[in-house]
A and B are shown apart, each in its own frame.
Chain A
Amino acid sequence: EAQVTQNPRYLITVTGKKLTVTCSQNMNHEYMSWYRQDPGLGLRQIYYSMNVEVTDKGDVPEGYKVSRKEKRNFPLILESPSPNQTSLYFCASSYRGGNYEQYFGPGTRLTVT
């Protein structure tokens, strides 16, 4: 089954404790991206990747890191999480950037206390 998976689905952590949210897709998509969803703001792009070893900042990259060492994986790293990073996070992938439909993962609910 074609899908985007994220882990964990739920995470509660404390300020400053490094964490990684994994994202994997099995569709051989070139384009992958991370979004955060906050009430009243919709989804905002954090980082995106056009292909392996190619990443770029989205609209809200501060406090986040990503890597794209393999085509299928695109982990999101929070080196020192803060309470303002409490949010719902989505990973998405598409064949390429542009008109191609983006497939979203199931979301990760992160709470930073």
Chain B
Amino acid sequence: AQTVTQSQPEMSVQEAETVTLSCTYDTSESDYYLFWYKQPPSRQMILVIRQEAYKQQNATENRFSVNFQKAAKSFSLKISDSQLGDAAMYFCAYESGKLVFGAGTILRVKS
């Protein structure tokens, strides 16, 4: 069964600085998709960024980028120029017919 591991239960970052959230996954599939979701205190699940496994180029969305290492089964999220509004729970998720989530990382942003 596919599993997703987020080894950092909590992270802190100073406003305007950069932070990287880690995610590893286990799969025997070669074709799959990876996602990062943000869950602010409102509890709404918001898609941050998506990566197709067949693409070698790392996905980027404004201040958010990923480091996708397929051989290592690693999918980290980098947030640049952190803002107070980035404070949230972040979930890494894997999809190959079914969406499987990691346990989440709470990100705190200090002003």
Interface positions of A (Cβ within 8 A of B): 33, 35, 40-45, 48, 58, 88, 90, 92, 97-99, 101-102, 104, 106-107
Contact = CB atoms under 8 A, between A and B. Distances in A.
Residue with the highest number of chain B CB atoms closer than 10 Å, among A40, A58, A104:
A104
Contacts of B95: 98-99
A101 B97 contact: no
Interface size class of B (residues with CB under 8 A): 20 to 34
Interface of B: 4, 6, 33, 42-45, 47, 50, 52, 91, 93, 95, 97-104
Contact of A98 (B93, B97, B100, B101): B97
Contact of B101 (A42, A88, A99, A106): A42
Given A101-B47, A104-B44, A106-B43, A43 B91 contact: yes
Given A99-B52, A99-B95, A101-B50, A43 B44 contact: no
A48 B95 CA distance: 14
